[in-house]
Amino acid sequence: MADTDWTLDDLALLRMRFGSWPNAKLSLYLDRDIAEVQAKAEELMLAKNKAVFAGRSMPRWAPAELDILRDLYHEKTNEEIARILKRSLKSVSSKASKLGLKKEREQLSTMGRNNRALRRPRT
C-alpha cells in the first residue's frame, strides 16, 4: 500500500467516489490502507451518501447549529462551516439549500476557482 503524498488525481477520485463507493473499493483503487482513505476523507469533510446509511438515522441539526449556519453562510466557505460544525460539506450545502440560504456571486466565483485549482493542476 502507498505511503506517499496524495496526488491531484487521487484527491479527485476520492472526492468523486467517496460518497457512493465502499472504503474497501477506494482503498484498492488508490492503493492505500482503508484507514488512510478514511482519514483523508475526514480531512476533506467528505461523507457517504444517504443510501450507504440505509436503515440508520442521520444526525439531526440542533437549533444552535442552524443559527451558526445562518450566521456564517454569507461570509465563510462551506468547507470552513463544515469544519466549525464538524459536519460534511454535503450536509452543510444541503441544509443551506433547504433553508434558502444563498452565497454572493463574487464568493461563489472565488470558491469555484479554488475548487477547480484543486482538481486541475496548472501546467
Q: What is the pLDDT of residues 36-84, one digit of tens each?
A: 999 999 888 888 876 655 666 667 899 999 999 999 999 888 888 988 9
Let me know if 51 is exposed, middle or buried by CB neighbors in 10 A (0-12, 13-18, 19+): exposed
C-alpha cell at 99: 433553508
CB-based contacts of 90: which residues, under 8 Å, 6+ apart?
Answer: 19, 46, 47
Can you give the pLDDT at residue 63? 94
Secondary structure (3-state) at 32:
coil
For the chain, what are the domain ranges?
A: 8-53, 63-107
For the chain, the average pLDDT equals 85
Place of cell 482503498: 27
Residues 6+ apart with CB under 8 A from 67: none
Q: How much of the chain, in percent, has pLDDT values that exceed 70?
A: 85
- Does the structure show a pLDDT above 70 at 24? yes
Average pLDDT over residues 77-100: 89
Is 4:34 a contact under the CB 8 Å cutoff? Answer: no
CB 41 within 8 A of CB 89: no
Cβ count near 78 (within 10 Å): 21
